[in-house]
């Protein structure tokens, strides 16, 4: 940090990042933001078409990107994601674990299979991606930043989101444990907890766009609106860069103030 000041601490020139679930929505915005800050970025997710579309847009704008279609619940494919990124760019400095699924059921009606799927995708595969990224960073000699995308549902209760909230609360505490164990290697691990956003997970599309829900969101959010995907760019660049060089084990709500009420 010596000799760095101002905007330079946010510069990611020469850094290599992976953003899972970056074909669409929040992941897409964060991947572009990291690229604009100077990083080479691996765009990846389950849907080949949206991954290819996002990668093509970034390439057209002159950013170095790699595109990979992968299934996050398959450990071998997660290993391939890390190794392909290192093969293409030479290293891994930043891992943004963003992929996830939603689901809304009353607590008494939660289906065990739905519970298992949400935990598998949101928690277990997030663990896998973060663990493998940490191993790579340690093997490189240490240093790096891992950002777990959590949810305001990990911090406060939302009706019908028992499974989802539990999975994201696990992500928060997992980030703290990684931060505690990997600090000796210079690896920082933090989480971002988005609130209601204008872009939603594919499984939640439309659920929060009814007039009733919009009114509820506005009433419960001090800023009286949803967040835009681009409003995650500042937080993720901050946590990925030297601007947050003494920040680790933190969960940062980006929710317009929802969780303070």
Q: How far apart are CA 173 and CA 176, in angstroms?
A: 5
What is the longest distance spanned by two Cα atoms in the chain?
A: 57
DSSP of 56-99, one letter per residue? HHHHHTT--EEEEE--TT-HHHHHHHHHHHHHHHS---EEEE--
| 187-194 and 94-97 strand pairing | unpaired
Indicate which residues carry an active-site annotation.
164
Retrieve residue 118's tokens.
């949400």
Q: In what order do the strands lie in the sheet with 251-254?
A: 65-69, 40-45, 16-20, 94-97, 144-149, 187-194, 251-254
């Amino acid at each position: 940090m010596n000799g760095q000041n101002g905007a330079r601490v946010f510069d990611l020139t020469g850094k290599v990042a992976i953003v899972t679930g970056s074909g669409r929505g929040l992941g897409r915005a964060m991947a572009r933001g990291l690229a604009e800050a100077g990083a080479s970025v691996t765009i990846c997710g389950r849907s080949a078409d949206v991954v290819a579309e996002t990668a093509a847009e970034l390439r057209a704008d002159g950013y170095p990107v790699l595109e990979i279609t992968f299934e996050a619940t398959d450990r071998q494919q997660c290993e391939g994601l890390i190794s392909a990124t290192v093969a293409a760019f030479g290293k891994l400095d930043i891992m943004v674990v963003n992929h996830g699924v939603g689901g809304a059921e009353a607590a008494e009606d939660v289906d065990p299979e739905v519970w298992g799927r949400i935990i598998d995708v949101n928690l277990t595969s997030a663990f896998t991606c973060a663990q493998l990224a940490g191993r790579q960073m340690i093997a490189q000699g240490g240093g790096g930043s891992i950002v777990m995308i959590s949810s305001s549902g990990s911090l406060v209760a939302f009706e019908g989101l028992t499974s989802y909230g539990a999975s994201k609360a696990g992500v928060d505490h997992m980030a703290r444990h990684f931060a505690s164990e990997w600090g000796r290697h210079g690896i920082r691990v933090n989480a971002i907890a988005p609130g209601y956003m204008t872009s939603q997970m594919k499984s939640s599309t439309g659920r929060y766009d009814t007039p009733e829900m919009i009114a509820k969101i506005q009433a419960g959010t001090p800023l009286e609106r949803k967040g835009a995907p681009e409003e995650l760019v500042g937080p993720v660049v901050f946590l990925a860069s030297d601007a947050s060089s003494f920040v680790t084990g933190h969960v940062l709500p980006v929710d317009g103030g929802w969780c303070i009420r």
